[in-house]
């Protein structure tokens, strides 16, 4: 039995279809990413899985149980780390954890709280008010709260949104630790790098639909034929070179800009491109190859960018 089974899930808000006929499953030990721009419908799916919202149509099963009918069992089967930390600032770290453990009705909950404090290295902070923790410590507490039920599945909604790069790496470490501990992880993100480095399977979402899915490698290899090679020369490349390159059957384009030349090609055309550049006798200062990114994959399926520039 799959940990999560979603069948033709649709959720409407008035006239807006936030989730549109989505189906997928999550198996034990997987690390799955829901990747898509803001508004794609990721959080709505999560909210329905954890039982915070109901589907308009379609069905959701967690361990074969429906969230709307078996609320407590489903909540106990999922560790849920919401985007906004659900922390009571004027309770201590230990009190926050105890409260969560009681809400989940964890048997021997005091014992579980001690375990979790140790696991997330919060011993020194256990007696301190949660409001006095640093940002990183609060995030650890938020992850610890989600780990209280000791479930096979943990769901993280945008675990690194708004973090600077080093804090983001720290959070990735926490996510990996949960996964290495044997849990299946479902995370949502609009950062392609995050899905790329963390997830074994990505569900690419846009406007309520899954537009493509597969491992990061599989997704990229659907267009992996495309390659961009950029050269910088010691002098401006002649127009004739550009003409000869663009005349090649597998070259999509060649653009000059002062000393540089950018060639977009199918990978099989690379030797011919290199040959022509070599024959031009220009001195090459640098050259770089850029393969496909998940943003390219997203653009391929939707005609739009995963993230707007500067976001």
Residue from 19, 35, 31, 23 nearest 61 by CA: 23
The end-to-end CA distance of the chain, in Å, is 40
Q: Is 42 in the site for ligand ADP (CB under 6 A)?
A: yes
Is 304 near ligand ADP (CB under 6 A)? no
Burial letters for 289-311: b for 16+ Cβ neighbours within 10 Å, e otherwise? eeebbbebbbebbbeeebeeeee
Q: How far is the CB of 42 from Mg ion (least distance, A)?
A: 5
| Angle at alpha carbon of residue 145, lines to 139 and 151, rounded to 5° | 125
Using Cβ positions, the residue closest to Mg ion within the complex turns out to be 43
- Under the binding rule (CB under 5 A), the answer on residue 280 touching Mg ion is no
54 is a site residue for ligand ADP (CB under 6 A): no
* Vertex 183 angle, CA 180 and 189, to 5°: 90
Pick from 8, 13, 64, 71 the residue near ligand ADP by CB under 6 A. 13
DSSP for 275-306, written as a single string: HHHHHTTPPEEEEEEE---HHHHHHHHHSS-S
Nearest partner of 157 among 84, 87, 83, judged by Cα: 83
State in angstroms the smallest separation of the CB of 46 from Mg ion: 8
CB of 80 to ligand ADP, least distance (A): 14
State the binding string over 17-36 for ligand ADP (x if CB under 6 A, else -).
-x-----------------x
- Give yes or no for residue 137 binding Mg ion (CB under 5 A): no
Running DSSP on this structure, what letter comes out for residue 266? Answer: E
* β-strands 78-81, 153-157 pairing: parallel
- DSSP letters of 228-262? EEEEEESSPPPHHHHHHHHTSTTEEEEEEETTEEE
Using rule CB under 5 A, residue 160 touches Mg ion: no
Interaction partner, residue 169 (Mg ion, ligand ADP, none; CB < 5-8 Å by kind)? none
Pick one of Mg ion, ligand ADP, none as the site partner of residue 36 (Cβ within 5 to 8 A by kind).
ligand ADP
| Residue 40 binding: pick among ligand ADP, Mg ion, none (C-beta 5-8 Å cut-off by kind) | ligand ADP
DSSP letter assigned to residue 118: H
Per-residue interface string for the shown chain with Mg ion, residues 25-54, x marking contact by CB under 5 A: -----------------xx-----------
232 strand-pairing partners: 260, 286
Residue 186 Cβ, how far from ligand ADP at the closest point, in Å?
Answer: 13
Q: Is 96 one of the binding residues for Mg ion (CB under 5 A)?
A: no
Which of ligand ADP, Mg ion, none does residue 18 bind (CB under 5 to 8 Å by kind)? ligand ADP
The answer to whether 78 touches 156, Cβ cutoff 8 Å, is no
* Residues at the site binding ligand ADP, with contacts judged by CB under 6 A: 13, 16, 18, 36, 38-44
* Residues at the site binding Mg ion, with contacts judged by CB under 5 A: 42-43
């Amino acid at each position: 039995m799959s940990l999560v089974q979603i069948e033709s899930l649709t959720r409407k808000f008035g006239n807006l279809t936030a989730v549109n006929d989505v189906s997928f499953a999550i198996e034990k030990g997987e690390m799955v990413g829901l990747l898509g721009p803001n508004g794609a419908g990721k959080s709505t799916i999560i909210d329905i899985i954890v039982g915070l919202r109901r589907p308009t149509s379609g069905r959701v099963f967690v361990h074969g149980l429906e969230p709307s009918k078996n609320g407590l069992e489903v909540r106990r089967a999922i560790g849920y780390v919401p985007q906004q930390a659900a922390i009571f600032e004027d309770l201590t770290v230990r009190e926050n954890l105890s409260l969560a453990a009681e809400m989940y009705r964890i048997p021997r909950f005091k014992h579980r709280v001690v375990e979790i404090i140790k696991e997330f290295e919060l011993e020194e902070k256990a007696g301190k008010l949660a409001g006095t923790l640093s940002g990183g410590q609060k995030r650890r507490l938020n992850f610890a709260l989600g780990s209280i039920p000791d479930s096979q599945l943990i769901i993280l909604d945008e675990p690194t949104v708004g973090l600077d790069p080093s804090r983001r790496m720290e959070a990735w470490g926490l996510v990996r630790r949960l996964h290495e501990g044997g849990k299946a992880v479902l995370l949502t993100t609009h950062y392609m790098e995050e899905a790329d480095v963390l997830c074994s399977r990505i569900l690419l979402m846009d406007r309520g639909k899954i537009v493509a899915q597969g491992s990061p490698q599989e997704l990229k290899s659907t267009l992996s034929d495309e390659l961009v090679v950029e050269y910088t020369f010691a002098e401006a490349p002649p127009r004739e070179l550009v003409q000869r390159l663009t005349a090649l059957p597998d070259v999509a384009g060649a653009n000059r800009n002062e000393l540089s030349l950018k060639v977009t090609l199918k990978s099989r055309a690379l030797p011919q491109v290199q040959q022509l550049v070599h024959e031009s006798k220009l001195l090459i200062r640098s050259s770089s190859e850029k393969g496909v990114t998940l943003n390219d994959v997203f653009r391929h399926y939707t005609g739009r960018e995963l993230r707007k520039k500067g976001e």
